[in-house]
Chain A
Amino acid sequence: MQRYSLANLLRHALNRHTTWAPAWRRPPLKDRYQVIVIGAGGHGLATAYYLAKEHGIRDVAVLESGWLGGGNIARNTITIRSNYMRDASIPFYVKSVALYEAMTRELNFNTMHTRRGMIDVIQSWGMMRDRRRRQHIMDLHGATYRQLTLPDLRRRVPALTGGGADARLPILGAFLHPEAATNRHDAVAWGYARAIDAMGGEIHQRPPVTQLLRGADGRIAGVETPRGTVRAPKVVVAVSGHTTSLTETVGLRLPLRSMNLTAFVSEPVRPLIDVIVNCPDAGVYLSQSDKGELVIGGPPDPGQSYRRDIKQGVFEETVAALLSLFPAFKRLKLLRQWGGHLDIAPDASPIQDETDVPGLFVTAGWWGGYKAIPAGGLTLAHLVATGQPHPLMEHFTLRRFRHLDYQMETGTTTAR
């Protein structure tokens, strides 16, 4: 692997950058691997990465129907945080945040991780209760969350001029989660891909997996693609919204629904907000990218959807919420909007398990799962390699549904 560094950059500059090697190879697709990972999104790539790194399993192919990292990892609002509510979830996200912080060095690829912190702006007493609950329980698991005074809030986010005492929903308080971060989503995909390639794994773009194959013994046998059959004793499904459509090809039904979640960016403007601002009562959250545009998100579309497009009703609600708190943004301009299809379980928590089809693994239900990518890959690789759920993920197997043992994370369905 060609190392990336300032010195190398300058060296290549002398050659007008004509001497850079490809970040990953484009090897021919073999007909057999030790493990097939379907989906070159964050979770699929992270799984392949940790299979090689932690378990020495390098004969891995990641098969991606579109372009590398073009799924939700290309379209999420990059909020990385661990301010969850339940004992089962928090340690997992704490781990994930820590892995993200180490990622740039680990991958020798700058993911531009910035611990900018997240502020939750509270406008109802119910939400205040919810956040106070997080404050204490997060502490048990090593995550921090602390209340800000209103003057502190206004000082940290000067653009937040709405929500005063006479506002429709006055701001009652705010909480700061300092570990929260943003980074460059594409860099995460590319950095993993390059590292996987360097360790011997393969990434294949644009062969969609059309079908899973089951052997006579009932075990998974491989996958079908337009480029032919590819066999493997272990197959990982990491395709977010498309999980059920793939698993149903071997008659496996999963408790998941696919929804379209959307985001939009404003025109790029000079630095204005240096923290992620989340307004769960209003129903909007935003942060400013290094390039200057505000990255803004809201709730999902009503109903299931595979259309990566924004619905006007949802969009207008989000904009009205945004302007109620940032009235000066009326003149700010919308630059682009898009969507992504996520899958969600009845309890809105993830599913990571070996399925009833032996050798077939799923990682799914990642509603706010960008933040979960490194830990999700770590735990799934563990499961695939050892056959045992990783301790951080043991509450999130499919078994919980047998007794409707929901792992309910309330308050996490609007702002991710």
Chain B
Amino acid sequence: MKKIRKYIDNSNLSLFRSIIQIIFFIILVYGGFKAISISEKIPTFACPYNVRTGGTCYLINIQHQLHSEWAGFITWRGISVLTALLTFIGLFIILNKSWCGFICPLGTIQDWLTKLRRLFGVRFSRYNKTSFKSLKVIKYIVLILLLVIPLGMSNSFFGLPKITEDMSAPYCQLCPARTVLPAATGDFTQFYIDFSSTTTIIMTTLAMIITALFFVGSFLKKRFFCFFCPMSALQFLFAKIGLLRLVKVGNKCTSCGNCSRVCDIGINAIADDLENKFIVKDDCMMCFKCVEACPENNCLKVKFTGLTIFRSTDEGFFKRFSKTKDYNITIDRKLSKND
């Protein structure tokens, strides 16, 4: 058992993650060719606008389901809304936020863009503390709008006129996944400006601007979009009850800052926060790069239902970061009793 544990702790998790990302990218974006469909309520992006999608993102579901009168929620429609939400939570709990880190195709595209930038040696951008704090709120505003607008379309709030039908599935119209994922299968029909009414003109132009922002942003800033994504905001409401957990032992931390430096999203709180154990912050995507980069034994641990499946060890750290090919030293530690 200890041998397996040691092998896992020394393993190169980033390699493993990029393999998983590729696999799920194929499943979620090209699943339709083989009629694979994971489920209609996945807690990650798998855009139904992409005809060949291998599953459907839950956001479009919830927007359609909320597009009904108040009375509707008491009838069978309310039950279907509830069951949809429960399946979403059920799926989400298993992998917690690592749906974003390991599976989301949009995230995978952003990681590839980062690798591209790295090739050209362009410097990455990083938010300083103040802008990080202020930009953090956007994804919650988007989530609230995403839930309120469909309701506003079918019921009039405080006597105001109902929102026009053109705004159906408001977030999906603006979401970069609608344009990017179908493009990945070669279908560029989603790149259009719809002139049929002023609302559609505004919405589709915004969508195009957001797509441009998506490409430029994630080329320069690692995981640019994930910072504004309402799915991560929706997920965070249930992150605390997830089975997969990232736990930090505060007093083992030497606050060396490695974890916040390698964090793609640039979360500083993981290095500064020494108090609470459950260290997943709201924009964390649980890609576990921080656990790989932590040189302290047992400081950062990945637990699945209480069982530690991956933890930070100094041996693992040196195995991952140093090269020993032209030295006659090997990095391995005899299994000592107090491990």
Same complex:
no
The chain A residues found within 8 Å of chain B, CB to CB, are: none
